[in-house]
């Protein structure tokens, strides 16, 4: 692989405003073979993984992007004061349903949540986290929704297959074995207090 090609690809990724796809890189570098470019990308990823630097090359939202390593997040926030996206519980629930059940209609989302989702859905559309995929071929032809490229970008996902499975989500609630502890048993005489011993209100 040409070191010049690697340098060119790095510069394209570095100067791109958002994640740049392999197809786009190949389109821009038509003087190189696609296999050469794919090989160069693989080697660049391995190179950054093998060095103890502050950033890495990751595949996200269908493209390539340089990102700081998650381990250094707390240090980075000391320098930059960015406005983080805050989501309400209802927005997160709606977004999760759309992400896992797409394509899905508003009525189907509301059936699963049990509440009206019009305002939340509008907000997610305005933030470009959700997009309209078309209309469902049923009476009334309601709009069907799905997640966007921005959704993948914000949550650092390569594609929808990268979403955590239900089993992985449930495992977050499990208490590790070393953290489990038997409940302490109180002595019987301290539990069965006579009525005269109870504190007065």
- Report field, pTM of the whole predicted structure over 0.75: no
pLDDT for 158-181, tens place per residue?
A: 788 878 876 776 665 555 554 444
Predicted local confidence at residue 198, as pLDDT: 45
Q: 199 pLDDT exceeds 70?
A: no
Mean of pLDDT values over 137-153: 88
Q: 136 pLDDT exceeds 80?
A: yes
List the domain boundaries for the chain: 3-79, 89-154
Judge whether 3-79 and 89-154 match in fold: yes
Q: What fold characterizes domain 89-154?
A: Arc Repressor Mutant, subunit A (1.10.10)
Is CATH 3.90.1150.10 the right assignment for the domain spanning 3-79?
no
pLDDT for 47-103, tens place per residue?
A: 888 888 888 888 887 889 888 888 887 888 777 665 555 778 888 889 989 999 899
- Work out the pLDDT band at 2, boundaries 50, 70, 90: low
Closest CA to 153 of 75, 77, 59, 74: 59
- Work out the pLDDT band at 157, boundaries 50, 70, 90: confident
């Amino acid at each position: 692989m040409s070191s010049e090609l690697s340098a060119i690809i790095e510069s394209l990724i570095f100067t791109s405003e958002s994640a740049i796809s392999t197809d786009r890189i190949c389109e821009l570098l038509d003087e190189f073979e696609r296999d050469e470019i794919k090989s160069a990308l693989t080697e660049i990823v391995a190179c950054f993984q093998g060095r103890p630097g502050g950033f890495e090359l990751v595949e996200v939202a269908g493209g390539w992007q340089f990102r700081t390593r998650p381990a250094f997040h707390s240090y980075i926030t000391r320098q930059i004061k960015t406005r983080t996206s805050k989501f309400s519980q209802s927005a997160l629930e709606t977004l999760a349903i759309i992400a896992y059940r797409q394509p899905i209609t508003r009525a189907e989302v509301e059936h699963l949540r049990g509440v009206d989702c019009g305002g939340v859905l509008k907000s997610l559309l305005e933030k470009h986290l959700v997009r309209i995929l078309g209309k469902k071929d049923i009476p009334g032809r309601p709009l069907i929704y799905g997640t966007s490229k921005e959704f993948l970008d914000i949550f650092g996902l390569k594609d929808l297959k990268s979403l955590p499975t239900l089993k992985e989500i449930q495992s977050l609630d499990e208490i590790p074995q070393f953290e489990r502890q038997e409940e302490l048993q109180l002595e019987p005489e301290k539990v069965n207090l006579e009525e005269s011993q109870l504190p007065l209100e």
